[in-house]
Structure 1
Amino acid sequence: MSSDAPDVTDTVAERVKSVRVEEEMEQSYIDYAMSVIAGRALPDVRDGLKPVHRRILYAMHEIGVTSGSTHRKSSSIVGETMGDFHPHGDSAIYDALVRMAQPFSMRYPLVDGQGNFGSVDGDPAAAMRYTEARMAPIAEELLADIEKDTIDFSANYDDRLQEPDVLPSAVPNLLVNGSSGIAVGMSTNVPPHNLTEVVDAAVHLVDNPDATVRDLMEYVKAPDFPTGANIVGRSPVKKAYQTGRGRLRVRAEYHVEENQERSGKQIVITELPYQQNKSRLVERIAEDVNDGDLEGVRDLRDESDRDGIRVVVELKRGANVDVVENHLLESHLERTFGVINLALVDGEPKVLTLKEMLQHYLDHRREVVRRRSEFDLAEAEDRAHILEGRLKALDNAEDVVETIRNAEDRDGARAALRETFGFSEEQAAHIVRMQLGSLTSMEAAEIEDEYEEVTAEIERLEAILESEEELLGVVKDELREMKETYGDDRRTSIIEDTGTVTDEDLIPEEDVVVVLSEQDYIKRVPAETFKSQHRGGKGVIGSDLKEGDKVSTVFHANTHDYLLAFTNQGQVYQLKTYQVPEMSRTARGTSAVNILDLDDGERVTAIVNTDDFEEDEYLTMATQDGYVKRTEVGDFSNILSTGIIAISLEHGDALVDVEVTNGENELVLGSERGHAIRFDESDVRAMGRNARGVRGMKLDGGDAVAGLAAATSDDPRDLLTVTEFGYGKRTPLAEYREQSRNGKGLVDIKTGERNGRVSAINAVAADDHVVAMSEAGQIIRMPVAEISEIGRNTKGVKVMDLGDDDRLAAVDVFTPSEDTDEEDAEAAGEADESEDDE
């Protein structure tokens, strides 16, 4: 090899770029998130469409499946869309097509479907090979003038075709049809509205640019759902329009009528809240009747047909109509619609007020009309130029014909016409192509008439482009035309909130501590009763226990929380915090038999707040013998008063802890002898409620699982470990290397005569607070920061000073509210230096 040859190693090294893994992961995730946000999940504020809907409509436009054509197989439309514009799978495209054809999903459906496109009962649409579709007339308004350079185009996914970045959208589609979607870290839920009201508001905004949201609400009263029903109260609507976010209560339309066949009355439901499943509604009412929660109902019938919804709740003779009606309202006939007016503005997601949504749409229409006018003007001027040439040719018909006849060929004829008569290239080319029949006097009159029309059109277009007032006038006229063509009456009524009072309304919303003993005494105490202290103290008396009784459970909650209480026997019960009697700090409590139907020897070992649930989350459970199981939260939606099975246990095993996880968490199991194992949640497949689970931790003889903790790998949390003699420590989760489940794990804390066995483990953040309670009823609350952060395989520090015969019974961790008093905050920030780590 020549000495002058380049060093291959050096050449390759020059192309290698060193980057930090965390920076690359961060940037890649941001790129992915923005791709989902802008390219899939959120609508554009201008046309109200997500890319998949826009591509479906454009594909239908390109293949001529308009409102005037015959219906085309849905599979053909999906295939065209997927092949040319949207390579994300046919099921996603078909689902979007189906929704655009459902009159109960879209206020103004954009697709005219033929066949089974689903129902309000939740029935799925037929397969795409069985259904047919074409554009609805209003959808064509979204695409009107798209060929006139009114919007920008970009290359499709394979650079073979061009697709629109946005549609011209002669209809304010985002407001009239709404939109919903979930992106990365954000979601949108724009309610549908009445077209007539939206157009009136838009026209008012054009005439009054300084109009406020309150002014616009004179026209846009509230959302207008395709299924009708009623919006309860105006204040939530006002908040949603002024801030872009709000929670609307939507109530079914119903009335009470006399039963013609039987003596008695019946409640007839005729309209449902938006997106409520009618079949599921009937099932849930029937379940309440069968479970005894709803009394006085004799029969339940779904008499709905093509003319509308009619669900009949027939009452027994002498039944209290008001009681049944109130139960139906509280449990079944009202839903909350969470308004999130999030849309893409110049490619960025923004939460928009009512005025901002209208203004962005009007700005878009103004630009569309301007570009269309420029396009039409250029074409009109070209046509006028040709007509001027034809008129000039008619005035010199004999000479023009003679000149053309004397020319050797067409090129010569065009050149001669330009030279002799001063025609332009375009005029000469047109005259050469003219037929002799066009030289008649009648044809000449038609050309003169057309020239006058084109000249007038040029003047009109120039006036539009020269005057902002004229341009906005066109925008208003076209909006009024949409209102005249497609506008209709409001379907959703607005009713005043009469403020139905329930037991829950009478209970002030506050943080409380709930204490439960082994002999089933229960009470709640305001959390503020227990002031934050330094670690190592004795705390205060939290319960005056009956002789022989011990504290079994303590947890922090809000009076309005709905909780799931899991027991050592694998049962789960539903618990409303406000149903637990409030008592003083030193009170014993009341019998829990009327709140939790616990068996002998059954005790609560874990509490989960249902407010924390998301649809795609799981309840992950751990047993003392080392088994782990996770089950979808949806499986716990209907819990009987006597409880339901949460996990099947083998003889001698017991449920010890439950955590809410998202499918991507990391789990830590801690044993009573101080071992801990960390593994990925995905190692535990999701199972049903009756399953036992899989082995999560291998235990030595005499050892048992003490608790379960869950956190994400990028969450800077610590593992808090507390022992039965009141000692504990915090250790960063990163110090517990990830392993496969069913291992022995690593040493977490040294147990022995001083510490005793491990009582609980929790994943904690630095600003959390800890509530610990002993079997004898002593309770202490302290900031997590009070407990030293030290490594694994250490003894820890004293968390709570217990008596000689006392043991730590339960520990709960919570994040204090913002109004935590200054004394607590001060205590959380001070370090206790009286005791060193041993």
Structure 2
Amino acid sequence: MDALAYMIDNYNRLDEVTVEHLLAFIKGPDFPTGGILYRFREEKGSEDLDAVTQGYSVGKARLILQAKAHFEEMSRNRSRIVITELPYQTNKTALLERIASLVRDGKVEGITDLRDESDRTGMRIVIELTRNVDPKDILADLFKYTPLQQTFGMQMLALVDGQPRMLSLKRMLHLFIQHREVIIRRRSEYDLARARERAHILEGLLKALDILDEVIATIRRSQTVETARNNLVKNFKFTEIQAQAILDMQLRRLAALERKKLQDEYNELLKRIAYLEDLLAHPEKILQVIKDDLLAIREKYADPRRTQIVDRTKGTLTSTDLLPEQEVWVSVSAAGDLSRANRGRLGKTASRQAAQGSQVALLAANTRDFLYLIARDGRTARVAIHEIPQDVTKHLSEFTDFGRRDDITAAVTFPRGNGSGASGYLFLVTEQGSVKRVAQADFLAAAAMNPQIMNVDEKDRLIAAFPTPGDGEVILVSSTGKSIRFAEEDVRSMGLAAGGVGGMKLKKNERIVYAGLVDPDGELLTATADGYAKRSGLADYSLQGRNGGGIVTHKPSSRTGDVATALVLTKADLESPDCQVALVSAKNKVTLLMLDEVPQMGRAVQGKQVMAVGVGDSIARAHTLTDAPDATGSDDEGDGPARATDGRAAPSSSNGGTSKGAKAAAATTIGARAAKKSRQTTATTATSKATGSGNKRTKSAKPAAAAADTNAPPGTKATKPKATARRSDRSKSTKEPPQSAKTSARAGTTSASA
């Protein structure tokens, strides 16, 4: 009742009401037989799963119920176990028979007597023990082998519009309030109709009493009842209903006292009619009636809670505690392939996927963490990272309910647990400009049941999901070159089942191609479908309110094509001498560029062509890569460890930000050695074809692969007038021993291209 009253008080802000708010009033299921309910339970690959919160979040959970028992000391150093409450639906007689059977079969030793001392004062099952046993061990065995402890399946299933639906606590309470609204509205409409009918009759009776002599004379002159009724209607303007009521009126109503009663009843009816009309005209007053009714029921029928809710026993060793704790890389490919590699190296699979541009996400994680995958329609799935094989590719369908046709657009990792201590949010963006912010604690509490994190329209698709700190700023970029920058706090925190709110107004055939966190000291890189790119300072993008039309950030044309992707370059990226940008086409062709090869321009310009795009191909994604010296040494293959740096990820169509408890890295991270080798090989081939010879390049030669597509036609951008000693030194000779290097991918969350 209190939870319903709380929801009614916050009915205009229901999106902000979470399960945690409702749990302040509804502690958990309360069974008539009492017992003990454990809030937390162990699950495969996890510990401290809040089963109560899970059940109320997604409508389904497994709860552990246990009998309430205590120990009593007896004479001669003996003790006994006394059971006073049983789990729900446990048969006492069957329980006693089960315990006796265990003693006879020798499965439980140390019990000397078993008796039922229950009476009208309550239940009391006594189990007497021998002197040489520990009562705690005996009780633990009884919990294990008897119904004294059992699992209760919680399913909040109900018919909604004639269809069975699994409901969360919030959804169920909301539906109940809506049902009560309908009931009270119908009841009020019925009462109003009856009151108006009665008031109409009373008006006629009171009018007749005022002209009583004329009315009586008219009735006496009439030959029949029908004639009298017609004469009353004709002569005194009564309605037929009023005329019939006058004819039916008893003579005692003519007394003065009776007339006063009629007048009082009429006055009360007028007040009742006014109240009902006002009630029906103001929905908030209907809600107040619902609340008053609920509080009245609570005052009349409330009784103390019977089932005690406790946490799991402290110090219990779970299966998660036995897992080795190891820092790893988790790779998610565009095809849904998952693989894991030691943090010391990217691994062959991840490196190959990265080099081919097919990688959706490369995440820094721990083997005790969980990987959360988010599909285009807002569905989610959770995978325990320790279950992902090392250096072996497995499709996500082997771990989740997702199939091979499901489009995964984002991936993020969080430490194990129920999220009760998590801060920050998950920011979600769709292609049609809808945005949503979900508290990480709400998502993690329900993540075990693979909830729908956002209600996405059938004609829309989710393209970005990334963690945010709660006080950051977000920027959206559209295909027509518009962008909007607003505070993430402009998007209120919503429940999992809610849809989004407007983030950016779009025109026909316009779509969002990028969303990310803003670095105030950074830059925004934009790239068009035909390979035209530029950089502009984020300081040039003023802060606006959400759901606006935005400002011009790129001026595409028929020659450049629409804006295909964007990228937030952080201050750390700009200050790094080795930071590169990887442009990936729809056909997974990759071009690596130094930052200074992408021109810095104003907002409303077309940019400069930095990548040759083949026929039928277009730019799809953009990522940043940073080569850094390896302090720990290289692996046996010569590739240095890839390391996630603090910052904001910038995948093709989403952007991630740092957040407490969240570990994530940008997609398509290429190993330093693999990247250099790719540049050298492609540069040699392109230069050879452009000059007609295979002569060794000199220091003054510009490596073509630095600015050209690795699969571009021969001669495409093979030579450029500009050359830098740094880039020339990078590709002097492939015979030099490879230097240990790291590929640094910024922390955040990644998603596939729109």
TM-score bracket, shorter-length normalisation: 0.3 to 0.5
TM-score, normalization: structure 1?
0.36
TM-score, normalization: structure 2?
0.40
